[in-house]
Amino acid sequence: MPAPLIRNPLKVASLFSGIGGFEIGLARAGHKTVMFCEIDPAACAVLSAKFPGVEIHNDIRTLKSLPRNVQLVTSGFPCQDLTPVGRTAGALGDNSALVFEAFRLVEKARPDFVLLENVPFMLRLDRGAAIDIIVSELEFLGYKWAYRIIDVAAFGIPQRRPRVFVLGSRTVDPRTVLLAGDRKSRSGEEKRTQTGHGFYWTEGNRGIGWGNGCIPALKGGSSIGIPSSPAVILSSGEIVTPHICDAERLQGFPRHWTAPAAKTSKPSVRWRLLGNAVNVRIASWIGERLRKSVEYDPPDDDALLRDHDSWPNAAYNVGEGRYKTASDSFPVRYKTASINEFLKFRGKTLSARATAGVLLRIEESSLRAPKILLDSLRNQLARTRS
């Protein structure tokens, strides 16, 4: 049987909306958002400016119900309790537990689809307690589900940013959206051009997030408690922090998308908003697949997911039990631009003080840094001090 075709655009209600990454991506596929729910004033300023006329509710805990006839609920629910650099309080942490408010609204509205996004660490923290709770709730509410780690690097962007996407459906097989038509091996993937490298310069002794030919994931915070950009080693050897407009482009947004947030808070809030955002390119791909999904042909190595198994990178339950599958994080394989090719705006040179600080922390720690990073930091320090 061919996969079902959803001919009409879906009516979308957005929970934990952030700056609308899910929604601008879904809109590019023809779907229409009719409501946002977001508590952050800076994010709300962006939503108000970019989606004029769409209702914004500011607290999911006081939201009694969703608009009538909503067909898709999106939720990039808070990840602070699920990240290795956060409090790792797990699914029952104060922030991440707010996902239960989303399920309260879903139970009442019974939309055709539920689409969730969060960090891959949720599959490992507390032996995957968070993902177990989420898919158990979907099963309790009568939804078939599939999830998969998807990396934005698959879409031609030189950023390494894997995220878990969970799709629950009452009407179609969710595997036809997230898992079908996939090659299980990256052997045919074109190698990334190794021009330019990225790393974290504000993580102290926790890590460097080295990106060989790519930029590590934009983050909403750092070990020193402030939102900041990664650093980039350009082909010239200069170390810079990218311009905010290039950061927006790395997340798939048009440049200046987050500018309205600066009217309500410090300009640095824009980095936090982008670090917490759902990538637009992935959202658009999912939106297109919702309009015309691909038939799923279960591979022979799909296996029953037993109670004590580790949670895999992709799994599903379409009513016959939970199964793990070998889908990787690259559902498509667009040619990836080099960092030098991608960046369009002049970045800010990393200062001598910042460069010296990064170098000292690496040298005094047990962190294993590649030679090119150490050499680049030393050369940068010599240039900026001269």
pLDDT digits (tens, 9 = 90+) for 54-67: 999 999 999 999 99
- Cα(254)–Cα(274) distance, integer angstroms: 12
124 and 229 share one domain: no
113 and 208 share one domain: no
End-to-end CA distance of the chain: 69
170 and 80 share one domain: yes
Cross-strand bridge partners of residue 215: 159
* CATH number for 313: 3.40.50.150
Positions marked active-site: 79
- CA 221-198-154 angle, 5° bins: 90
84 and 15 share one domain: yes
Assess if residue 56 is contained within a domain. Answer: yes
Say if residue 364's pLDDT is above 80. yes
Q: At what angle do helices 371-385 and 352-363 cross, to 10 degrees?
A: 140
Pull the structure tokens for residue 345: 């705006």
Assess if residue 4 is contained within a domain. Answer: no
Do the Cβ atoms of 210 and 216 come closer than 8 Å? yes
Do the Cβ atoms of 78 and 87 come closer than 8 Å? no
Assess if residue 334 is contained within a domain. Answer: no
- Cα(251)–Cα(3) distance, integer angstroms: 30
Per DSSP bridges, beta strands 215-216 and 159-160 are parallel
161 and 69 share one domain: yes
State the Rg of the chain over Cα: 21
> Who has greater pLDDT, 185 or 192?
192
- Cα(20)–Cα(338) distance, integer angstroms: 27
Assess if residue 333 is contained within a domain. Answer: no
Question: What does each C-alpha distance from 56 to 23, 164, 221 come to in angstroms?
Answer: 13, 26, 25
Assess if residue 271 is contained within a domain. Answer: no
pTM: 0.91
Assess if residue 270 is contained within a domain. Answer: no
Assess if residue 1 is contained within a domain. Answer: no
Say if residue 16's pLDDT is above 90. yes
Phi, psi dihedrals of residue 214, rounded to the nearest 5°: -150, 170
Pull the structure tokens for residue 309: 């198994």
47 and 139 share one domain: yes
Q: Which of 93-102, 248-257, 336-345 has the lowest mean pLDDT?
A: 93-102
Say if residue 74's pLDDT is above 80. yes
Place of tokens 């498509």: 332
Pull the structure tokens for residue 115: 């689409």
Over residues 109-138, the pLDDT tens digits come to 999 999 999 999 999 988 898 899 999 999
Tell me what pLDDT residue 83 has.
47
Pull the structure tokens for residue 90: 């797990």
Pull the structure tokens for residue 213: 């030919």
98 and 244 share one domain: no
Q: Among candidates 147, 168, 50, which has minimal Cα distance to 102?
A: 168
Domain interval for residue 251:
197-262+341-385
Confidence of residue 182 (pLDDT cuts 50, 70, 90): low
- Cα(36)–Cα(337) distance, integer angstroms: 33
- Cα(371)–Cα(86) distance, integer angstroms: 29
221 and 113 share one domain: no
Q: State how many domains the chain has.
A: 2
127 and 154 share one domain: yes
29 and 164 share one domain: yes
Q: Under DSSP, is residue 286 helix (H, G, I), strand (E, B) or coil?
A: helix
Average pLDDT, the chain: 89
Please report the sign of the dihedral spanned by the C-alpha atoms of residue 352, residue 354, residue 358, residue 363. Answer: positive
Say if residue 366's pLDDT is above 90. no
Assess if residue 305 is contained within a domain. Answer: yes
62 and 136 share one domain: yes
150 and 66 share one domain: yes
